[in-house]
Structure 1
Amino acid sequence: MKKDKPIEKEILKKQCQHWENKFSNKTDMFGVEASVPAQKAARKFKKEGKNKILELGGGQGRDTIFFAQNGFEVYVLDYCKSGVEAINKKADKMNLSDSINVKCHDVRDPLPFSEEVFDACYSHMLYCMAFTTSELEFISDEIKRILKPNGLNIYTARNTNDADYGTGVHRGENMYEVGGFIVHFFSEEKVEHLAKGFKIIDINEFKEGGLPRKLFQVTLRKIDSN
């Protein structure tokens, strides 16, 4: 696949408004049931006693609500105001506001938290949004910064076995725009590249949705430098 196409960052930045429009026009765009990756992550978190969780790219909150219902203290960041509003409304309606703290934030900027305050970080398809590799490196470093020693980072990303990979409009690197959405498709090499400062516990391929989409669920542990 072509990898030398210039990256037009202004096009990538417009994805925020695209997602904002989608979330505003369709309540529960991805359904109300927790995703399979969230269920799997919750089991891992519980087994290891990880209680204070940071979720990046919470969307409209289907996984957020699930984590809170299962006893986790959940902090959530999403760059769409409509998503943040949806999560807050659901948390209030379900009496989960004490367990959920949600904020509008672009993860290309430093995470608004101190060092080593979270037991774990979780994100479902945030990594495969319209981020360049250098932006993903920054996000990975920020996650490492806010995690406690031996903290877990569990994320999912669509991979290069996906049927959409290489289709649509090439936006540079392994990014392709299909149906208005720009996706950064991951190879195992990309997972390994972004794991600096972490130990790779697991890279599990799974399918989701009607295409179906093909994704990796990656489980990383922060390396204790002490």
Structure 2
Amino acid sequence: MAHGERGLAADQWRHWQETYSAHPGMYGSRPSAPARHAAEAFRAAGAAKVLELGAGHGRDALHFAREGFTVHATDFSATALDQLRHAARVEGLGDRITTSVHDVREPLPLADDSTEAVFAHMLLCMALSTPDIRALVDEVRRVLRPGGVFVYTVRHTGDAHYEAGTGHGDDIYEHGGFAIHFFSRRLVDDLAEGWCLADVHAFEEGELPRRLWRVTQTLPR
């Protein structure tokens, strides 16, 4: 990773740690709409185990656990995962959720073909370079079993914050302290090469509103 990328990654880690510390449970307890979609897609595929990347304080991981899945949740913020584990204990879901502090620029902490579903809500569009994103999707392919489902969401180049704020190159722009990699449709299609791309669903979230794609793709059997 170039020095500038390392510096941006370190800045973002500090920013998220401070944000989760200052605003515990900042996204609330209700699951996101993409997580509700993902639970249905995972169940239809016969999945029992879910890996969530960038789980934060766990509103979606908790939803998957309530729906009967066994969940392994990762995030690079230990503060967020502490909040997730506490919420899981309170709800009596501690036996369904495990966690790992993990930076997705590194190999995923799972064995080959060891999970059946992967979910990532606005994780791939964080301050990751295009090579980082490609390497992460390769890692998702590695840990998924044939027939496994990958659901992810990203902000895209039609978003109001695209090309606003501080530019870091590679379609990464920082606004309000958060650095976002805005996806083009070409990047989505490139990442789906070798997968069965089931759906690219456009939706909006939040007050701006943020404009996102929800991507559902399956690893061929």
Normalised by the size of structure 2, how large is the TM-score? 0.96
Q: Does 1:50 align with 2:17?
A: no
* Corresponding residue of 1:3: none
How far 1:12 moved relative to its partner? 3.1
Q: Aligned to 1:37, which of 34, 40, 55?
A: 34
For 2:146 and 2:126, the matched residues in 1 are separated by 27
Counterpart CA distance in 2 for 1:197 and 1:144 is 10
What is the aligned partner in structure 2 of residue 208 from structure 1? 205
Partner in structure 2 of residue 83 of structure 1: 80
Counterpart among 120, 123, 134 of residue 120 in structure 2: 123
Q: Is this contact kept in 2: 1:144–1:197, CA < 8 A?
A: no
Q: Following the alignment from structure 1 to structure 2, what is the Cα–Cα distance between the partners of residues 204 and 107?
A: 24
Residue segments in structure 1 that go unaligned for 5+ positions in a row: 1-5
Structure 1 match to 2:8: 11
- What residue in structure 2 maps to residue 70 of structure 1? 67
Unaligned runs of 5+ in 2: none
Q: Which has the higher contact order (CA 8 A, sep 6+)?
A: 1
- TM-score relative to the length of structure 1: 0.94
Cα-Cα RMSD: 1.2
The sequence identity of aligned pairs, in percent, is 39
Secondary structure of the residue aligned to 1:67 is helix
The answer to whether the 8 A contact 1:7-1:172 is kept is no
Report the alpha carbon displacement of residue 194 of structure 1 after superposing the two structures with TM: 1.5
Task: Name the counterpart of 1:110.
Answer: 107
Letter in 2 for 1:89: H
Q: Counterpart of 2:207 in 1: which secondary structure?
A: coil
Displacement of 1:44 in angstroms is 1.1
**Hey, what's the Cα distance between the residues in 1 that align with 2:125 and 2:3?**
16
Alpha carbons 1:121, 1:153 under 8 Å: kept: yes
Aligned match of 2:179: 182
Deviation string, structure 1 residues 104-147 (Cα, Å, up to 9, x no partner): 11111111111001111001000000000000011000000000
Task: Report the count of equivalent residues.
Answer: 219
SS of the residue 2:63 aligns to: helix
For the 8 Å contact 2:45–2:147, the answer to whether it is kept is no
User: Match of 1:8, as an amino acid?
Assistant: G
Q: Give the distance between the partners of 2:217 and 2:131, measured in 1 at CA.
A: 19
Q: Contact 2:45 / 2:148 at 8 angstroms: preserved in 1?
A: no
1:7–1:171 Cα contact (<8 Å) kept: no
SS in 2 for 1:171: strand
2:20 equivalent to 1:23: yes
